[in-house]
Amino acid sequence: MLALVGSVAALSFTFGDQMSRGLAFIALVAGAVLSCLLAWRANRQSERLRQARALGQAMEHAEQLHGERVRQQAVLEVLTARIQGLRGRLDQANLRACKQQQELSTVRGNYEALRVELEFQASLTTGATVVELAPREEAPDPWVTARELWRDAEVPAVKQPA
């Protein structure tokens, strides 16, 4: 419609008299202003539509992020509960290990005391031979018994009684 009015006004401006030229000029200016207003309105409407779409996408993305955050919070709570349970079990295991280490030390002490006592009683019985050992360069193993040392009597460091 605007194109039809513009073409009639252009013909009238070109071939018409003074009054029709003035009216044609006013019609052309009014048509130009009207087309600018219509273009501005269409541009504004398309910009609003684009912003509404962007807002909709942003809101949808925000909902997705919120849902993911809720799921991650639930996973974090489960993992925290499991870690606390495992820490409790670790503390109990460490406590048991300490108690067992104490018992082991006690048993080793009892074993060593019993071994010394048995060797002492064996040396006090009749017919027991006392063996004098020469000092060694290296420290003997504390867990070696007197019988094991006697078995190694062939070693030149062991002196047989005369």
**Residue 158 has what pLDDT?**
46
**Segment 48-98, tens digit of pLDDT:** 999 999 999 999 999 999 999 999 999 999 999 999 999 999 999 999 999
**Residue 46 has what pLDDT?**
96
**pLDDT band at residue 136 under the 50/70/90 scheme:** low
- Between 35 and 3, whose confidence is greater? 35
| Residue ranges per structural domain of the chain | 2-125
pTM attached to this predicted model: 0.41
**Residue 121 has what pLDDT?**
78
User: What is the overall mean pLDDT for the chain?
Assistant: 81
| Paired residues of 106 in beta bridges | none
Query: What's 138's DSSP letter?
Result: S
